[in-house]
A = this chain, B = another copy of it.
Amino acid sequence: MNQIIRFCMSCGEPTQNRTPDGDNRSRAVCGQCGEIHYVNPKIVAGAVAVHEDRVLLCRRAIEPRKNYWTLPAGFMETDETVAEAAQRETREEALGEVRLNGLLSIGDVPHIGQVHMYYLGELVDGVHGVGIESLETRLFTEAEVPWEELAFRTVTETLRHYFSLRSRPGFDATSPGAPYQFTAQWKPAK
């Protein structure tokens, strides 16, 4: 969930929650040096890496959602682009290189302060392997996708959109068009 900032990152003194002058939201403000600490959404970048008619999924070796299947994806870093982050995550989690063809989906996840962005791409030579955060990686046809064992809502929505798009006449894998945009609302676990 969102970070709680109890102490100032600059001087180490305790913060107080208050609305700074000229602002309209409560922030963690340092009681000593006055620094305002903003908490902003994080971008999760990932890829639908396709080889022939199959998509690459990874079974998670780590929490949250350990053992569930996910698209390769993770938190974007500050010195890269969204596309580079999607490629790096595919490399780290699935030991694969992905050639990106365009943005496929954008999922807002406001209750945890995240925005998930998935690219459509081709898995180079179909090569993949088990990265450090994965237990297993595998290429799935549409019929084989373990829908009930997917890790995250945004993964399910993105895969559904991809297969729907792919089934349309004139589908061009190199140009997925306007990204599918959706909001993943909070829903209690079953």
Contacts and interface: CB of A to CB of B under 8 A. Distances in A.
Contact of A113 (B11, B12, B78): B78
A179 to B, nearest CB: 7
Contact of A41 (B10, B22, B78, B103): B78
Contacts of A113: 78-79
Nearest to A133: B22
A111 B11 CA distance: 25
Contact of A10 (B6, B11, B77, B102): B6
Contact of A40 (B11, B25, B78, B110): B78
Query: How many chain copies does the complex carry?
Result: 2
B78 A110 contact: yes
Interface in A69-117: 75-83, 102-103, 106, 108, 110-111, 113, 115
A38 to B, nearest CB: 7
